[in-house]
Structure 1
């Protein structure tokens, strides 16, 4: 294990907030000459992200809904593994939206990078990208650490979920089945739909949701979902 990956693991293990994690990701990328990073957690239409891309580029990206045509996002969803990319390979002719996207990426110092994509829980998808404005960057050493980094993302994702549950008062702790049914409820699934997805009887699914509502003093499933989101459980 190289020093950059070791420092990243140590820092994330000790992190108490996103600021520390952002610093760890920036330092890890800088060790390989990659000055930009972006973490994305997507679930349906909900997207959570933090990155150090230029603010103007972030605003442009969101305003133009570039996630729908971004070749990196498309490839990450398709491959769900680590891969190297370069914007020089994107279409360079005509006046298509993709050409405009490519040119604006260049203007904001995003030219080449490496992305790790993987499945999260309950249908979500995670991506971690390190990028640079340099046209030529050697990714050989970085690629050797990517499998370990990918595993780290999964572990950290699960640890954060566990930590969120542990912040609850004892009487509000949910059972694994209650958590599972709650998670599908946050995705808009009804009890019968959750039953199909989990193999649990629909009446039993409703029972778990009712038990979870009691623990949070929620009058309805939508209120339960709102409380769970507000407390960072989902």
Structure 2
């Protein structure tokens, strides 16, 4: 089912939009479209740079929440973030759909 949905999203267009993006605004639109196509109410993309640099959060969650999340550094205790970082990353081919 997910493979069918992904194919209908025009994977090529989605990847082109992401590759042409230069700032957070450019990334938010294709991510919002993808989450809508997958019937997700909300999305969040968090980039964690090396120590000492500020994380980047691209999301459609309310600004008041994302500001609080970053201000209180919840990424350091958020199990959605912390658990995968402790484990070996998944091979990228795992999600290939053959589109």
**TM-score scaled by length of structure 2:** 0.65
Aligned mates of 1:48, 1:69 — CA distance in 2: 17
- CA change 1:32–1:17 in 2 (3 A) is same
Aligned mates of 2:72, 2:47 — CA distance in 1: 19
Which residue does the alignment assign to 2:86?
78
- Following TM superposition, the consecutive aligned residue runs of length 4 or more in structure 1 with deviations greater than 6 angstroms are none
Give the conservation status (yes or no) of the 8 Å contact 2:57–2:66: no
Give the conservation status (yes or no) of the 8 Å contact 2:43–2:59: yes
Counting only pairs closer than 5 Å after superposition, residues 1-234 of structure 1 correspond to structure 2 as 2-4=7-9, 5-42=11-48, 43-46=50-53, 47-79=55-87, 80-81=89-90, 147-148=95-96
Aligned mates of 1:11, 1:55 — CA distance in 2: 23
Give the conservation status (yes or no) of the 8 Å contact 1:26–1:37: yes
Compare relative contact order (CA 8 Å, sep 6+) and give the higher one, 1 or 2: 2
Give aligned pairs, total.
87
Unaligned runs of 5+ in 1: 83-117, 119-144, 149-234
Computing the radius of gyration from Cα coordinates, the structure with the larger value is 1
Secondary structure of residue in 2 paired with 1:2: helix
Write 1 or 2 for the structure with the bigger share of strand: 1
**TM-score scaled by length of structure 1:** 0.32
